[in-house]
Amino acid sequence: MKPVIEIFKGEYFFRDQLKLFVNRVSENFAGPFHAHDFVEYSYVSGGRGFHHIGNEVIPVHQGMLFVIPVGVPHVFRPATTDVSKHPLTISNCLFNAELIQELAGMIQEPEILSHLNELEQNKAPYVFITDHGRRIEDLMARLHRECSVPGIGSSTMLYTLVSQLVVTTYRFIHRVEPNDPVKPPELDHIIQYLEQHLAEKTRLSDLARLCNCSDKQIQRMFRTQTGQSFGSFLQHLRIQKSCELLKRSQHKVSLIAELVGYRDVDSFYANFKKITGDTPLAYRKKHTPHSTHHG
């Protein structure tokens, strides 16, 4: 039995002569499976969950952006029913065909305008990317602020930000390495592997062997898509995970260091201070001021 699909109309969202709408919502299990008569850019601002889109179910996490054409049914769901403790927050930017015509005066590249028109005419598939550099996150936040508290020139600012969102996303989607005989694997899959094996010693050659690629391909992919070398990215990932553990657990610092892949506590302390500006204990105290944690 096919699910019932509700149709969301743009006239409900687009007001005050604006041809776009920006909001931020915490998803739940009450929202309907729906399609719409406008283009939607949906950014996962926080949490984890699932995106039911078309006939697929895609696990989602913070930093993922979906570009959803007109007519494609979808709905986001949190990972658990306890949404108060584990919310899934989505930032949305919606716009219609009229705005695309407005953007034609700002976006010069015909291939990008063609992409927008195909989204509006339901001639393009949905796409999703991961915003590792947090550039799209910044654009979505600025769009939300400008839409929430409009001021002089807000329409111009919003249309400028939307054009940046469209172009930045298009660059992510069409970033290729034409000289590579073998297409590298999705960076998302590699990062998921690293997250699941942080406690282990993972080398570039391990990933290359795992993905049937060369060391050079993997290194280039990290440089191109994250702006960091593999080693630097892994270091930041380990410190990021240690920050979560410091805030959410009562583990000793020495155990946290081990859990994120450090065999030497002094090295962990040095890298943590270099990346965050704080020692692990100072970071924990700053982010859990009412706790009684011990290092």
Both 102 and 154 in a single domain? yes
Instruction: Report yes or no on 179 lying in a domain.
Output: no
Residue 7, pLDDT > 50, answer: yes
Q: Are residues 148 and 32 in the same domain?
A: yes
Residue 180 lies in a domain: no
Q: Which amino acid is at 41?
A: Y
Flag the least confident range among 83-87, 166-170, 178-182, 190-194: 178-182
Q: What is the pLDDT of residues 87-112, one digit of tens each?
A: 899 999 999 999 999 888 888 889 99
On whether both 147 and 246 belong to a single domain, the answer is no
Domain that holds residue 262: 187-287
User: What CATH number has the domain bearing residue 51?
Assistant: 2.60.120.280
DSSP string, the chain: -PPP-EEE-HHHH--TT-SEEEEEEE--S-SPPEEESSEEEEEEEE-EEEEEETTEEEEEETTEEEEE-TT--EEEEESSS-TTTS--EEEEEEE-HHHHHHHTTT---HHHHHHHHHHHTT-S--EEEE-TT-HHHHHHHHHHHHHHS--TTHHHHHHHHHHHHHHHHHHHHT---TT-SSPPPPHHHHHHHHHHTTTS---HHHHHHHHT--HHHHHHHHHHHHSS-HHHHHHHHHHHHHHHHHHH----HHHHHHHTT-S-HHHHHHHHHHHHSS-HHHHHHHH-TT-----
Span 155-165, average pLDDT:
92
Answer yes or no: do 199 and 237 share one domain. yes
Helix 280-287 with 230-248: angle, nearest 10 deg: 50
* Per-residue model confidence as pLDDT tens digits over 45-57: 998 889 999 888 8
Same domain, 191 and 130: no
Q: Is 159 in the same domain as 248?
A: no
- Whether 20 maps to a domain, the answer reads yes
Residue 65 has a pLDDT of: 95
Q: State the CB neighbour count (10 A cutoff) for residue 130.
A: 20
With respect to residue 178, please indicate whether it lies within any of the assigned structural domains. Answer: no
Is the pTM of the predicted complex or chain greater than 0.85? no
Residue 74 lies in a domain: yes
Decide if 226 is inside a domain: yes
Residue 285, pLDDT score: 87
Based on the domain organization, do 25 and 133 belong to the same domain?
yes
Whether 219 and 272 share a structural domain: yes
Q: Which whole number is the average pLDDT over 70-86?
A: 88
Half-sphere exposure of 50 (CA within 13 A, CB side): 12
> Average pLDDT, whole number, for the chain?
85
pLDDT tens per residue across span 222-253: 877 777 788 888 888 898 889 889 988 889 99
Q: Are residues 156 and 48 in the same domain?
A: yes
Quote the pLDDT of residue 186: 67
Q: How far apart are CA 212 and CA 196, in angstroms?
A: 19
Show which of 173, 208, 241 is a domain's final residue.
Answer: 173
The band of 207, judged by pLDDT with boundaries at 50, 70 and 90, is confident
